[in-house]
Amino acid sequence: MAERPDREKRWRGLEERSRPRRSTLVALLLAAATLMTLDQQAGESSPIEPVRAAVGTAFGPVETITSAAVRPFTAVPTWFRSKDGLRRDITDLESENAALREQVASSGYDRNRLAEFEGLTRAAADLGRSMVPARVVAHGSAQSFSRTVTIDAGSDAGLRPDMTVVNNDGLVGRVLRVTSRTATVLLLLDAESVVGGRIGESMEVGFLRGRGILGQEGRLDLELLDDAVVPAQGDTVVSWGSDGAGPYVPGVLVGRVTDVFASVREQAQRAVIEPFVDFSALDVVGVIVPGDTASDRALIQADGGIG
């Protein structure tokens, strides 16, 4: 029984020796605080710098290998987020590029339309007449055997049949029929179209008839009332008519004489007229109306202003 107390005393002695003394802990803490203070104040000349460099040299490769091994797993969420962001950026850029392409493609069209509208205002001022502006929205079918176009203005805009239609180049035709919102225009080149014409240089008059052909080959035939008069190539032809009688107002440019020949059978002089208007590219036109016309759209006034 005496051995057991001795054994317990020995164990307690070992435990006491294995426990760090409080004074030792205090000393270590003070030493650590001193080293931290010296390291902070000394900067690059710190006495701890050689130790720090040695530790970095020893453990740096291990940290690099560990980081490379772990990076694929930690980067997966970021990769998905960046991929979604890139996809959104690409979509936005594609939309912007499409808008820019559309803007570039339509800039020429808008510029041409603006030029036609400005030319129409000048024509109104030159003729001293008011106009209802309109756009060509359809061409008559070839099966109808007539040359007509549909414009986007009708009786609500003050239009009625037998009104003169022009554009910035010259005479287009006349209003054939109307609805509340649209009108059908018989083109000058239609085979059934007959218009009074006057040679601008000699003031001789005659009748213009269409051939029913559009495009580059579209021509008019002018038969003069005085068969003794021979027009010259290059002479300008304008419309001949009456404001009250209609359907064509006088003084509108029609075309230029390109050829002249004599008809033996009819004993008359005929002239071939090349129209100033490009009928295959009609867009903006103006319908000549009285100045006091009630319209659902702004009129181009006789002085070229907008009313």
pTM (2 d.p.): 0.64
Report the number of distinct structural domains present in the chain.
Answer: 1
Residues 223-264 have pLDDT tens digits of 888 877 888 889 999 998 877 657 899 999 999 999 988 766
Q: Say which residue, 71 or 184, is predicted with more confidence.
A: 184
**Total Cβ atoms within 10 A of residue 150:** 17
Identify the CATH number of the domain in which residue 161 sits.
Answer: 2.40.10.340
Residue 140 lies in a domain: yes
Report pLDDT digits (tens) over 156-197: 999 999 999 999 999 999 999 999 999 999 999 999 999 999
Residue 31, in any domain of the structure: no
Instruction: Kindly state whether residue 211 falls inside one of the protein's structural domains.
Output: yes
**Cβ(287)–Cβ(131) below 8 Å:** yes
Domain assignment of residue 8, yes or no = no
Nearest Cα neighbor of 234 from 202, 205, 266, 212 is 202
User: d(Cα 165, Cα 188) in Å, to the nearest integer?
Assistant: 10
Residue 108: inside a domain: no
C-alpha torsion angle, residues 58, 29, 31, 25 (rounded to 10): -100
Does 158 map to a domain?
yes
Domain range for 130 is: 121-289
Within a domain: 168? yes
Does residue 187 contact residue 172 with C-beta atoms inside 8 Å? yes
On whether residue 266 sits in a domain, the answer given is yes
